Amino acid sequence: MDRRKARTRAALVTAAQRLLAEHGGVDVSIHEITEAADVGFGTFYSHFTSKDELFDAALSLTLEEHGALLDSVVGDLKDPAEVFSASVRLTGRLQHTHPQMARIFVRTGMSYLTSKSGLAPQAMRDLQAAADSGRLDIDDPRTAVAMVGGALLGVLHLLETSPDLDVQRVTDQLACRLLCMFGMTGAEAQEIATRPLPSLSTPT
């Protein structure tokens, strides 16, 4: 793919991400998509066969970006339970650090829980590592991922619709309760869920 075509495709995907964040991409015409991307209408089908294919690509990119973002900041943590907790807390804080990403997760519902990139495999890996090390009690990692993902989605929705809430307090409380759910004592869970967090880079 030459650079011009790559730029056009990237513009379409970026526009689709914005539209997903705004209203989930529902009832959007291809004309509106190409207008948002500032590309010619006729170029759309040179890159995608349908709106669904474009929005799938936009969601996949968002999930990949989320996974890479977390990996970049939790990679130096040694305790598997802390890695899991930090990932939960940082994802909850997306409402402030990466609001478009947070809104995409809220708008697209549960589809990301079975994706092959992003949150689901990231959570599966972290939970499995915590279970293998004996830090958390997890019988079925797939069910555990669904429980964590559902809780995160609920909190992201709550924070979007209740801007008066303290994001840090809510997300730290979520991480603490999830750790307790997986067998950790309340005192240790509270300590881990309130440790200093690495900073997330904000989009420019």
pLDDT digits (tens, 9 = 90+) for 67-77: 888 888 888 89
Q: Where are the domains of the chain?
A: 51-192
CA distance 26 to 24: 5
What does R_g of the chain's alpha carbons equal in angstroms?
A: 18
What's the whole-number mean pLDDT along residues 39-44?
A: 88
Give Cα 152 distance to the centre of its chain. 9
Looking at residue 3, its pLDDT comes to 84
Looking at residue 1, its pLDDT comes to 56
Q: What is the average pLDDT value for the chain, to the nearest integer?
A: 90
- As given in the structure block, the two tokens for residue 55 are 């929005």
Q: Which of 56, 96, 87, 53 is nearest to 69 (CA)?
A: 87
pLDDT > 90: percent of the chain: 63
- Does pLDDT of 123 surpass 90? no
**What pLDDT band is residue 192 in, cutting at 50, 70 and 90?**
very high
Give Cα 16 distance to the centre of its chain. 16
| E strand segments, the chain | none
Please tell me the least confidently modeled range out of 23-27, 89-93, 165-169, 181-185. Answer: 23-27
Check: CB of residue 202 under 8 Å from CB of residue 97.
yes
**What pLDDT band is residue 202 in, cutting at 50, 70 and 90?**
low
Q: Return all residues near 137 (Cβ < 8 A) that are at least 6 apart.
A: 131, 182, 183
What's the whole-number mean pLDDT along residues 83-105?
A: 93
**121 vs 30 pLDDT, higher one:** 30
Q: Which CATH number fits domain 51-192: 2.40.128.120, 3.40.190.290, 1.10.357.10, 3.50.50.60?
A: 1.10.357.10
Q: Return all residues near 196 (Cβ < 8 A) that are at least 6 apart.
A: none
- Sign of the CA dihedral 168, 118, 124, 23? positive
The DSSP-derived string for 40-62 is: -GGGGGGT-SSHHHHHHHHHHHH
**What pLDDT band is residue 63 in, cutting at 50, 70 and 90?**
confident
Looking at residue 11, its pLDDT comes to 95
pLDDT digits (tens, 9 = 90+) for 133-191: 999 999 998 899 999 989 999 999 999 999 999 999 999 999 999 999 999 999 999 99
- Does pLDDT of 120 surpass 90? no
